[in-house]
Structure 1
Amino acid sequence: VSKVAGINLELKSVDSRRLMGWVKRVVLRCREGVKYLLSEADVIEGYGRLKGRNEVVVEGKEGRKVVEGKYIVVATGSDPASIPGLKIDGEKILSNREFFELGELPSSMLIVGAGVIGVELGQALARLGAEVHIVEILDRPLPAFDEDVSQVIARYLRKYGIDLMLSSVLKSVEVRGGELVARIVRKESGEAKEIKVDKVLIAVGRRLNSSGIGLEEVGVKVTDKGAVIVDELMRTSVPNIFAAGDVVGPPFLAHKASREGLIAAEVIATGRTELPREPIPSVVFSDPEIGIVGLDETQAKSKGMRYRVVKLPYSVLSRDYTRLTRTPEGFAKLLIEEGTERILGAVIVGNGASEVIHTLAVAVASNITARDLEKVVMTHPTYSELVSELAHAAVGKPLHLKLK
């Protein structure tokens, strides 16, 4: 920092016990807030199973109870997926759930999976001084995202000293002399290496909580992966049974689950028969931040859509130059449908992406064109100016780039 702005800052140490204590207090406060909102609801703790189309049997601490209702909403969520032959024990082998229950941070960790959880937690640990290894079976991190995103995030992971092993497989983990020894094999060459770590974090996705709750018995249809099949109103194949959240499939996002729950509640309460499901934005809280909404190029191609791409570097933003931690490799990209000029999707990689993406989410949800967006004036200097820059570039009038 001192080299950039003449400010001398030094991180002498991290008290990981106090840090994790603070994390737990934040999580607890969020949970207590939800409990407060449910204070007037009859909350029954236990394991539920559909007995019929209007009944749920709950086995809990107070015994067995049958709850009846005209409508039922299945919102059983998901759990972290595991790897065959490698049991999550909560001590040495962790999922993200157990990670946040740790009393202190490990000094070294192997993360299996370079998806959102692997990238976010891997970067956080590395920046706090831990030795981090990430193994990913595919050839790029964040494989479900735009390839341009993967390229930037791979460079940043390595920038923080993370050992990123792509196209590689975790073959085994064993305990030797009190340490975990993991054996990693490259898929193509078969080359193997061993690394010693304090803990292993399994971050290979989610497992839907749809089995063993009586869905099939009452006629609720699910996919071969266990996702409950719903229509645009979150209604299942049984008219009075709805489903929302992770149990209906990806993306596994809290705000997506909340929106789906609201749709189901409104349909049940009002009887509405038409309620569009808006595109769900996704954010990765990494460095740099990543924001995505709508279609990416792969999805647009699979739908046979004709589109063009408008892409700008973060260097067009004065606001980014005022940050001591700039994102020189940052970029923003719009997908625009040929003919209609509708904005189909957007990708932002850089500071402020987690906030700016929501303006573009409004544009995608409202079928706004780039020319419509060009008319909106954004304050200078802000990250929101990125939206204006994109819109002007899309209509052939870039503000801070020369036309070629």
Structure 2
Amino acid sequence: MADYDVIVIGGGPGGYVCAIRCAQLGLKTACVEGRDSLGGTCLNVGCIPSKALLHATHQLHEAEHNFAKMGLKGKSPSVDWKQMLTYKQEVIDGNTKGIEFLFKKNKIDWLKGWGSIPEAGKVKVGEDVHNAKSIVIATGSEPSSLPGIEIDEKTVVTSTGALSLNKIPKSMVVIGAGVIGLEMGSVYARLGADVTVVEYLDAITPGMDGEVSKNFQKILSKQGLKFVMGAAVQGVDVKNSKATVNYQLRKDESNASIEAETVLVATGRKPYTDGLGLEGVGVEMLPRGQVKTDAHWQTSAKGIYAIGDAVTGPMLAHKAEDEGMAVAEVIAGKHGHVNYEVIPSVIYTTPEVASVGQTEEALKQDGRAYKVGKFSFMGNGRAKAVFQSDGFVKLIADKETDRILGCHIIGPGAGDLIHEICVAMEFGASAQDVALTCHAHPTFSEAVREAALACGDGAIHA
């Protein structure tokens, strides 16, 4: 039996970051992880491998559609799917081994196996029981499905199976028009699959700025993705390695179906806390399966904390990382802080989509007076030079004070551009502050400045 100041259960972005910060603050730390590699869903079967495939297939798209325009002549490359999966795995391995190195560097013990909490202050891993003054639950989430759908990870897959199909399907149905569905749908559409997205709601990317959502769907449609909106999936039938997706259109309750070689179920994720024994130690749960915590990430059981996808809030790796660092500070007797008003979200398609803060829809609902500055990438020289002039930057500021309330970007490098506004919002900046800041030319970031200028006297290149 080993004694620790902190044991973190889960080696994903929230867990491993929490463990590293705890160790940096002088706490004797261990991290429990049952996978063969650290990094959790994100590094192993989520964020990182999907970005590798998105990058590879974007390069394919460039070769097929834009190289000739730039004077790069020659035969278009063929796809070696096996090699592409090897490249994806090499990216995963490089990242996960990096976390192992950081654990060794910070003297963190990796307790290999699946953890449970038999009683307060104790964590069981396999047959071993370890004492801990504080325990952090960072067990992440797992894909959620719908009634009438049986996942086999071959024909009917979650995001995990979609990252490792044994061949590129000729046709794919994606159930759910959220981040995961659109990213993976985009990958396979570029690889030549006939992709149809079936969504229950009338708009893609629920919760996103409405104007961005509409433009995003138009752009993806031009790229070959088909959309069936307002459709409630009733079930999926599999026969002879072919799937039939049965759905009902909400507008007239008519029934329809669509066949495909592969069905990707991308209907969201749910907290994963199975086997932890939380009820036995008095940890209170919320109706939707999350662990209930207070403002300091403390559960109802003293000395047990929870972060990341296991608690409320957006299921984002960077949100989990922020909470991991914050809870480490709390455990070390310091002040941990997460600003939940400034957590960006990104969709890594081409073009990328990124947002932070309030949407127009939310502000209208709250009755708050606001103004909008908008600038199209059609007016950005760098974007036009790289064939990515679709999209725009939309900056929202308080009508009276000019303080930035939110930003929504669809366009090249949106996932990086959004952070200028994140920093501005952290400092309580106004749109004018961004407008008066010199931006290098020619860069995509000039579009952000132009949107800020549009909140005042007007953009220059509009």
Give the TM-score of the pair, scaled to structure 1.
Answer: 0.91
Unaligned runs of 5+ in 1: none
1:277 to 335, 339, 345: 339
Q: How far apart, CA to CA, are the structure 2 residues paired with 1:177 and 1:369?
A: 60
Residue 398 to residue 178, structure 1, CA distance change in 2 (3 Å): closer
Alpha carbons 2:141, 2:270 under 8 Å: kept: yes
Alignment correspondent of 2:355: 292
Larger helix fraction of residues: 2
Q: Which has the higher contact order (CA 8 A, sep 6+)?
A: 2
Alignment correspondent of 2:187: 124
Residue 129 to residue 274, structure 1, CA distance change in 2 (3 Å): closer
SS of the residue corresponding to residue 115 of structure 2 reads strand
Q: How far apart, CA to CA, are the structure 2 residues paired with 1:215 and 1:177?
A: 42
1:379 to 431, 435, 440: 440
The answer on 1:399 being equivalent to 2:460 is yes
Residue 255 to residue 143, structure 1, CA distance change in 2 (3 Å): same
Alignment correspondent of 2:413: 352
Q: How far apart, CA to CA, are the structure 1 residues paired with 2:290 and 2:365?
A: 22
Q: How far apart, CA to CA, are the structure 2 residues paired with 1:258 and 1:326?
A: 31
The answer on 1:88 being equivalent to 2:122 is no
Q: How far apart, CA to CA, are the structure 1 residues paired with 2:361 and 2:301?
A: 34
2:430 to 363, 369, 373: 369
Q: How far apart, CA to CA, are the structure 1 residues paired with 2:388 and 2:401?
A: 35
The answer on 1:307 being equivalent to 2:370 is yes
Counterparts of 1:4-403 in structure 2 under 5 Å?
4-8=69-73, 10-39=75-104, 40-58=107-125, 60=126, 64-269=127-332, 271-273=333-335, 275-277=337-339, 279-323=342-386, 325-328=387-390, 330-401=391-462
Q: How far apart, CA to CA, are the structure 1 residues paired with 2:100 and 2:146?
A: 33
Q: How far apart, CA to CA, are the structure 1 residues paired with 2:163 and 2:68?
A: 35
Which has the higher mean CA deviation after the structures are superposed, 300-309 or 130-139?
A: 300-309
SS of the residue corresponding to residue 258 of structure 1 reads helix
Which has the higher mean CA deviation after the structures are superposed, 102-111 or 145-154?
A: 102-111
Alpha carbons 1:76, 1:209 under 8 Å: kept: yes
Alpha carbons 1:157, 1:164 under 8 Å: kept: no
User: What are the superposed Cα offsets for residues 21-58 of structure 1, whole Å, 9 maximum, x if unpaired?
Assistant: 21122112212212222233222223322233312223
User: What are the superposed Cα offsets for residues 104-155 of structure 1, whole Å, 9 maximum, x if unpaired?
Assistant: 3222211111100111111111011111121111111112211112111211
User: What are the superposed Cα offsets for residues 181-209 of structure 1, whole Å, 9 maximum, x if unpaired?
Assistant: 22233222233333322111110000111
What letter corresponds to residue 327 of structure 1 in structure 2?
Answer: S
What letter corresponds to residue 280 of structure 1 in structure 2?
Answer: I
Alignment correspondent of 2:37: none
SS of the residue corresponding to residue 187 of structure 2 reads helix
Which has the higher mean CA deviation after the structures are superposed, 33-42 or 227-236?
A: 227-236
Which has the higher mean CA deviation after the structures are superposed, 224-233 or 138-147?
A: 224-233
Structure 1 residue 301, shift from structure 2 partner: 3.8
Residue 371 to residue 158, structure 1, CA distance change in 2 (3 Å): closer
Residue 38 to residue 273, structure 1, CA distance change in 2 (3 Å): closer
Q: How far apart, CA to CA, are the structure 2 residues paired with 1:54 and 1:2?
A: 60
Sequence identity (%): 35
Structure 1 residue 7, shift from structure 2 partner: 4.2
SS of the residue corresponding to residue 56 of structure 1 reads strand
Alpha carbons 1:288, 1:327 under 8 Å: kept: no
Give the CA RMSD over aligned residues.
2.1
Unaligned runs of 5+ in 2: 1-65
Structure 1 residue 98, shift from structure 2 partner: 1.8
Structure 1 residue 4, shift from structure 2 partner: 4.5
Alpha carbons 1:20, 1:102 under 8 Å: kept: no
User: How many residues align structurally?
Assistant: 394
Which has the higher mean CA deviation after the structures are superposed, 83-92 or 392-401?
A: 392-401
Alpha carbons 2:210, 2:361 under 8 Å: kept: no
Residue 191 to residue 3, structure 1, CA distance change in 2 (3 Å): farther
Residue 177 to residue 94, structure 1, CA distance change in 2 (3 Å): closer
